[in-house]
A = this chain, B = another copy of it.
Amino acid sequence: MSSAAKPKRKRLTKAEQRAETIEQILDTAEYLFSKHGLYGVTLKDVAKRVGVHHTLLNYYFEDKKKLFDAVFERRAVVTSERRMRVLDEYDKKTKGKPTVEGALRAFLDTDLDLYIEGGEGWRNYAALASQVANTPEWGAEMMDQHFDPVVLRLIDLLKKALPDCSEEDIFWGYHFVTGALMLTLARTGRIDKLSNGLCESDDFLAVKERMASFMAAGFVAVCKQQKAKRKS
């Protein structure tokens, strides 16, 4: 630990100390990875910021990629389970008669709330996730691994809400939804400049307000369009 931090709380058991150090490493790595990506960050960068020797990261996480995985997994598990629970609840509440917008709200708003209320750490994780999602190399695999169950749960509800819609249309619709969500999480600042400050990348509330209804209408429109096309 940094010498500045040490004298303050001397009364920490070893296990507590360990947990705290690990958490600090994860937070810092999360922040840096979200800004510069896996290859854009060195273990020394992270260690320096935390105030520990860089080999300590090897000690706790074996190697760089495993540190990255640990960073990602820490919160991915939380948001995945949380959304799964809310989707289940929603399904029960609507007694097997979900609406498109309702299902999307259970999925999207639940996630966005986490980033709105969860503090900086959660927002950094969000930006990281958006990078992972757009990385074909190993990113898609990480997404599969952590999010397939929730996503399939959502798809399931959407199918129920749109019984005469083809599966393709639903999968493509979901694809559009994630794309939009991921760009939101990246908070690139692009919309700020484009709109001359009218909209802000950080304004997840504005997104939450609009996204589910926007996408729900999209689903309905595409289903109708494709149904018409099949007839002709």
- Main SS at interface, chain A: helix
**Count of A residues near B, CB < 8 Å?**
66
Quick one: given A168-B199, A194-B152, A213-B222, are A175 and B186 in contact (CB under 8 Å)? no
Q: Which of B134, B179, B189, B199 is close to A136, meaning CB atoms less than 8 Å apart?
A: B189
Residues of B within 8 A of A137 (CB): 35-36, 40
Q: How far is the CA of A139 from the CA of B194 in the complex (A)?
A: 14
Instruction: Collect the chain B residues with CB atoms within 8 Å of residue A57's CB.
Output: none
A193 in the interface, Cβ–Cβ < 8 Å? yes
A215 within 8 A of B: yes
Contact of A140 among B144, B179, B190 (CB under 8 A): B190
Residues of B within 8 A of A174 (CB): 191, 194
A190 touches B143 (CB 8 A): yes
Instruction: List the 4 shortest-distance A-B pairs measured between CB atoms, nearest first.
Output: A179-B183, A217-B221, A39-B39, A214-B218
